[in-house]
Chain A
């Protein structure tokens, strides 16, 4: 527009910086506070620096059975991630041509995203309660419950992650050049070969992005799990339970450990995406190199 940076740039840059500080500041505060000394309290100033509270969590002498909840959340997160990736890529492929029920699936996904989580969660718990009652009445009186981490819990998480996966697939195929795939088929590739050797390598960075959403959204999920997870708790639910009785920094230590997993996954995913993009830029064109 005009040469140089307009004044509004500096005003908005400061505004943006303040927003970023607002986003990260409090989080960083609790990461720091989880290294409180053994006598330290819930707030600044730091009373010495130690890994006392983190160790306390790992020893299992602390507030929750961290290990078990940790393993449950990790297992669920990985399964949700895998299912989200496979189902989203498949459905995304389907949306590239018209099919019946297309708009039903689209609106289901959007509705699943915006219907308040508590309603979905309540619905799933009612559904499973009714299934339980039916089983008890007709087949097995001693039946306990069909609700659980990998039944109702998994389903509840998928209603949250799949819409994101599908929307990301839309974004991918909006800028995907279908001629690449047609070219592959013209060269004699089967539909599967065209997908495996042409489409998938191109969309792979974004597919990893879907996986990132799948895992992190499940790892931190709370509202939908609240009624639908069954008898056992996930890590965020345990953490939420602790908020009512906060007395010492072990709650921060738990928060730091949960975040550490999130950040490890984010770094891993973004690193892989970056590497793939670089490789694509370097070797993207294999013109004249023959079939792979």
Chain B
């Protein structure tokens, strides 16, 4: 991209005029790769200092020892043995960590299935049924705005609706469908799933919508012309072409739910265990190596899930 200027400068330096000539000469002397480093370096440094090195520390500390109140920097597998305590003795029953992961995965699958269903059809509507660009922009924005507002507020927003005396319960009681308020609406697994779907369907809608708008409309017309029914077009044309978006959205939703501890904490009334919640509990007890060991386990499982899913699609190509 610099070539035109370089050639210009070499062939007839007088052509590059103006008060900036010296600066231009200086800039031209900087090699392109040096400029790239200057441009990308700061962001790389932030990721290095606040993401990559911290991850390394998580792994290191997971092998340290600890007592009631501090870290002891000496090699120990205690973080892991404490975590898996009783796992072999209790076989064939699951130990605490096993049960927690099964529970987290169950939540994951439920939230994934629901967000995929909602996200797919919302994206489908926006991509194929909304014809005007202005409307498409406006409606996409309508779906995005909540993402820019606070998650906690969007969680507590369910309290007046789902609580014991909330709108749903009082409505159901008044209509005579139930005699007394349902207790499982709030601070339950139900409310956790509901809140997670409410918060994170956005992460499904965006990538699926992105894949769908890139689908050449003439392909769909060709399918119809060739006699395909709407359902056949959906299954054989649209879904395969929207697959990258579906996979990326699924990765987002699954990793968020796997590591979530806030939604599960707030909406589960701090009563439901999850993979993320264990880490928080250990940190609050100042058992950092155990927290780190749990973080490593969570990281490995998340990584495995992502690897399996990205087998289906090359993420880098799709962005």
- A102 (CB) vs chain B CBs: closest residue: B40
- Return the contact of B40 from the options A95, A186, A236 (Cβ within 8 A): A95
Residue numbers in A under 8 Å from B258 (CB-CB): 116
The interface residues of chain B, by DSSP majority, are classed as helix
Q: Which residues in B have their C-beta under 8 angstroms from that of A97?
A: 1, 32, 36
Among A23, A122, A124, A126, chain B packs the most CB atoms within 10 A around the CB of: A126
Contact A99 B122 (CB under 8 A): no
For residue B52, CB closer than 8 A to chain A, the reply is yes
Q: Please tell me if A139 contacts chain B, counting CB pairs below 8 Å.
A: no
Asked whether any CB of chain A lies closer than 8 Å to the CB of B89, the reply is no
Determine, out of B20-28, B74-82, B91-99, B238-246, the stretch whose residues face the partner at the interface: B20-28
A49: chain B residues at CB < 8 Å are none
In the complex, chain A residues whose CB is within 8 Å of the CB of B37? 94, 99
Residue B133, interface by CB 8 Å: no
A190 touching B23 by the CB < 8 A rule? yes
CA distance A109 to B259 in the complex (A): 18
By a CB distance below 8 angstroms, the chain A residues around B90 are none
Minimum CB distance partner of B197 in chain A: A22
Q: Is A155 an interface residue (CB 8 A)?
A: yes
* Other contacts beyond A126-B292, A255-B150, A270-B141: 7, CB < 8 A: A29-B160, A99-B40, A111-B51, A116-B298, A119-B58, A191-B35, A255-B152
Which positions in B face A, CB cutoff 8 Å?
A: 1-2, 4-5, 8, 15-18, 20, 23-24, 27, 32-33, 35-40, 42-44, 46-58, 61, 71, 118, 121-122, 124-126, 129, 139, 141-143, 145-146, 148-161, 163, 165-167, 170, 198, 201, 220-221, 224, 230, 251-252, 255-256, 258-262, 266, 270, 276, 279-280, 283, 288, 291-292, 295, 298-299, 302, 306, 315-316, 319
- The 7 tightest CB contacts between A and B, nearest first, are A116-B259, A123-B54, A155-B50, A26-B157, A99-B36, A94-B39, A94-B40
9 contacts between A and B (CB under 8 A): A43-B167, A90-B42, A108-B44, A159-B51, A178-B1, A186-B5, A213-B148, A236-B150, A236-B152
